[in-house]
Amino acid sequence: MGHCYSRNISAVEHDEIPEAPDQPPQNHRHASAPQSPLASEVNSYNISPFQSPLPAGVSPSPARTPGRKFKWPFPPPSPAKPIMAALRRRTAAAPQPIPEDVDVRGGGESSGGGERLLDKNFGFGKNFEGKYELGKEVGRGHFGHTCWAKAKKGKMKGQTVAVKIIAKAKMTSALSIEDVRREVKLLKALSGHRHMVKFYDAYEDDDYVFVVMELCEGGELLDRILARGGRYTEVDAKRILVQILSATAFFHLQGVVHRDLKPENFLFTSRNEDAILKVIDFGLSDFIRYDQRLNDIVGSAFYVAPEVLHRSYSTEADMWSIGVISYILLCGSRPFHGRTESAVFRCVIRANPNFQDMPWPSISHTGKDFVKRLLNKDHRKRMTAAQALAHPWLRDENPGLLLDFSIYRLVKSYIRASHFRRSALKALSKAIPEDELVFLKAQFMLLDPKDGGLSLNSFTSALTRYATDAMMESRLPDILNTMQPLAQKKLDFEEFCAAGVSVYQLEALEEWEQIVTSAFEHFEQEGNRIISVQELGAQWQIMPQHTAESSKKDSGPDQSRPPLERNLDKEDFPPPQAPLPPPPRSTEEVMEELREVNYQYTNVADPVESAARRQRVLNGEVQGLMESTAASIVEVE
């Protein structure tokens, strides 16, 4: 499981270099807490662009450039503090010895009234040793390690698998226990996709939890990047990214956000160049509801999205991480650098990626556009995984498109929008580029329209067809409740394009000025660069009331309402049956009427009649008078 680490806390200020411990076995590829070499052993500075920040408790390399102390008048708050707090909760100190009279599995309390113990019984199978034979260790993480194993019996007899072993002694809080429970649930829910690591089963005993998964023997994506000299060609990078996006689009549709996508968490099934890529390590992943925003800071420093540091994010954070991966694949370096985690975080929030230095001038325009649209700091303008698969740069790879869940959010917003906003979206949809139109057409066909239109049943059937059991339980009811207005109408393709277009993402396109100009000209017909009430009413196929009255009287143009140079709302177009607004009145007339109402207020003898009359006046005459007064003053001005 990956984490962002805080700055090192070892005692380097006394210029003492800790001695290097005994080296671990060679098969420990990811040994935890590696120590820095001695000063005498360092010959050159490590210039690897993929060097990650050291974990907490590990001394920095003595070969690094001496740090400088800058004096900030008001230093910015460090985002590393909440990350360290979360890390401490998961790696808390071991608990005190438990009295013999305490039931550990039941989570009971001691006879002396001690604190409540944690229940570490997950309900998994108990006979792991009887079914699998463990082999050598192939990887190690923060809370467990992964070993090679072979099945002894059953349908998988003789098959090699990977077993993730998590020590229960490290589960020192309810949060860490819930992390393990959630990871197993996620693996079980997402298993079966071509680019997701397969989950077979989970076991436990008194000391460990065993998660049996597919064994991927091809190594990490990071290892292959380094073996190629740090970068891929565009053709090879597209093949890798299509597989990453296919898996991401799948688990995003199921309501899962990974939160730790990086090259180390993608494994190849074999050593072949055309091996299938698999997503692993869902230790930081979580289910997310229909309109939920997460706020805990997790992930790996170089791949964390800006909105994660701002503590308000959703599935868009994974797309930022894929943007960082695509940047690395194409140019061989990370887009954001820093000597410390806090420096990296500030760079992520404030700096822009460099697209001027080599090899970016030699990369295709569509390739650069793909990366830029993923590394947009505004998460609303960032492409979704399904949209990225439909990008022109990846079209040659013939990726299979999946249903984009953002379509449901956009359609919900459209059917609840005002008439004016829907008209504006229809105008924008008629001017969108062909690439965006191809994506919307593919989504329209995935929803399986009946009789040329989409009904509530179309959206329901599509979700049922693509959803897993976990999504059916967590997301489907809330989603369908928000789509109830579609029970009375259908969306044809033209209106679906208006509903499925995202204005924020259109703003990120290079053609945005042309799109918005074309949409403006859709309403403006006279060439005076102003949308008048008459032009807007003609598009809506209704006649503004003031214009209708002026045409009935056949009076001059001075009695018609002038063109408006402001944003219009529904009050500019009252319903045809509504009465005409009262004629403008002067301030003196309004004040005289107010004085008459006040006289009625004070010249009533009977107190009972007075109370009833006052209530009647307040509810009727005064309220109506004040409304007409406000309207009259606006008209006079």
Q: What CATH number does the domain containing 182 carry?
A: 3.30.200.20
Say whether both 226 and 207 belong to one domain.
no
Tell me, yes or no, whether 202 and 280 share the same domain: no
Residue 103 — very low, low, confident or very high, per pLDDT cuts 50/70/90?
very low
**Residue 360 clears pLDDT 60, i.e. is over it:** yes
Q: 230 and 152 share a domain?
A: no
- 3-state DSSP assignment of residue 491: strand
Give the pLDDT score at 132: 93
Q: Using 50, 70 and 90 to split pLDDT, how confident is the model at 488?
A: confident
Identify the pLDDT of residue 92. 56
Confidence check: pLDDT of 289 > 90:
no
Positive or negative, the CA dihedral 428, 430, 435, 437 is: positive
Considering the domain boundaries, does residue 261 fall inside one?
yes
Count Cβ atoms within 10 A of the Cβ of residue 531 and give its class: 0-12 exposed, 13-18 middle, 19 or more buried: buried
Estimate the crossing angle of helix 533-540 against helix 419-429, to 10 degrees: 80
183 plus 327 within the same structural domain: no
Q: What angle do CA 402, 320, 80 make, to 5 degrees?
A: 140
Do residues 118 and 174 lie in contact, with contact meaning Cβ atoms separated by under 8 Å? yes
Distances (CA, A) of 45 to 64, 171, 335: 7, 38, 21
Lowest mean pLDDT across 358-362, 508-512, 537-541, 601-605: 601-605
* 168 marked among binding-site residues: yes
Domain identity same for 384 and 242: yes
Helix segments in 284-339, DSSP class H: 306-309, 316-331
Q: Which residues pair with 266 in a beta bridge?
A: 279
Q: Regarding beta strands 277-279 and 286-287, do their DSSP bridges make them parallel or antiparallel, or are they unpaired?
A: unpaired
Domain harbouring 369, CATH code: 1.10.510.10
- Better pLDDT: 615 or 622: 615
Q: How many CA atoms lie within 13 A of 266 on its CB side?
A: 24
Q: Are strands 144-151 and 160-167 parallel, antiparallel or unpaired?
A: antiparallel
Supply 364's token pair. Answer: 């295709």
- 253 and 386 co-located in one domain: yes
State the distance between the two ends of the chain, measured CA to CA, in whole angstroms. Answer: 66
Alpha carbon separation from 458 to 126, 290, 401, 490, 609 (Å, rounded): 44, 19, 18, 10, 61
Catalytic residue of the set 179, 201, 260, 318 = 260
Residues 476/463, Cβ–Cβ less than 8 Å: yes
Give me the helices (H) in 132-216, please: 174-190
Q: Is 357 a catalytic residue?
A: no
Query: Do residues 280 and 385 both lie within one domain?
Result: yes
How many Å apart are CA 293 and CA 544, to the nearest integer?
A: 42
* Greater model confidence, 133 or 104: 133
Residue 34 within a domain: no
Domains identified in the chain, total number: 5
Task: Give CA–CA dist 251/189, Å, rounded.
Answer: 9
**91: pLDDT confidence band, cut at 50, 70 and 90?**
low
- Which of 213, 237, 262 is the C-terminal boundary of a domain? 213
Query: Where does a domain end: 351, 370, 397?
Result: 397
Are 173 and 277 within one domain? Answer: no
- Per-residue b/e over 303-321, b at no fewer than 16 CB within 10 Å? bbbbbbbeeebbbbbbbbb
Residue range 277-288, pLDDT digits in tens: 999 989 899 988
What is the rounded average pLDDT of the residues 512-518? 87
Tokens 């807007």 correspond to 536
Same-domain status, 238 and 365? yes
Length of the chain: 637
Distance CA 458, CA 446 (A): 9
Q: Which of 306, 329, 301, 331 is nearest to 317 (CA)?
A: 306
CB within 8 Å of 81: residues ≥ 6 apart: 6
* Residue 18 binned pLDDT confidence (cut-offs 50, 70, 90): very low
More confident: 22 or 274? 274
Question: pLDDT tens, 117-166?
Answer: 788 888 898 989 999 999 998 888 777 889 999 999 888 888 999 999 99
Q: Which residue has the higher pLDDT, 593 or 229?
A: 229
Distance CA 187, CA 369 (A): 33
Phi/psi for 203 (5° steps) reads -130, 170
Is the pLDDT reported for residue 198 higher than 90?
Answer: yes
Residue 560, pLDDT score: 42
In a domain, 332, yes or no: yes
Band of the pLDDT at 423, cuts 50, 70, 90? confident
Asked, for residue 32, whether it belongs to a domain, the answer is: no
Question: Quick one: angle between helices 406-415 and 493-500, nearest 10?
Answer: 100
Give how far Cα 132 sits from Cα of 93, 445, 631, Å.
32, 46, 82
Residues 253 and 313 in one domain: yes
SS3 152: coil
Confirm whether 7 is domain-assigned. Answer: no
* Arithmetic mean of pLDDT, 41-48: 44
Quick one: what percent of the chain has pLDDT higher than 70?
A: 64
Lowest mean pLDDT among 88-92, 298-302, 303-307, 415-419: 88-92
Grade residue 517 by pLDDT with cuts at 50, 70 and 90. confident
**In a domain? residue 524:** no
Digit-coded pLDDT (tens) for 552-561: 444 444 444 4
Q: Which two tokens stand for residue 500?
A: 């499925």
Q: What is the pLDDT at residue 606?
A: 37
Res. 604: pLDDT tops 70: no
- Domain check: are 489 and 385 in the same one? no
Residue 507 lies in a domain: yes
The model's pLDDT over 157-190, given as tens digits with 9 standing for 90+, comes to: 889 999 999 999 888 888 889 989 999 999 998 9
Residue 34's pLDDT is 46
Peptide bond into 359 cis (omega under 30): yes
pLDDT tens across 391-421, in order? 999 988 777 788 898 998 899 889 888 888 8
Would 64 be classed as within a structural domain? no
Note down the domain range covering 247.
221-397
Would you give the DSSP letter of residue 579? P
Within 8 A by CB and 6+ apart from 546, the residues are 533, 560, 561
- The answer to whether 33 and 57 are in contact (CB under 8 A) is yes
> Quick check: 290 and 191 in contact, CB under 8 A?
no
Q: Which of 164, 183, 213 is the last residue of a domain?
A: 213
C-alpha to C-alpha distance for 238 and 398, rounded to whole angstroms: 11
Provide the H-helix boundaries in 301-384.
Answer: 306-309, 316-331, 341-350, 365-374
Q: Are residues 379 and 263 in the same domain?
A: yes
Look up residue 611 and give its amino acid. Answer: A
CATH assignment at residue 436? 1.10.238.10
Of the given ranges (3-12, 133-142, 466-475, 524-533), which has the lowest mean pLDDT?
3-12
Q: What is the pLDDT of residue 325?
A: 96
CB 519 within 8 A of CB 430: yes
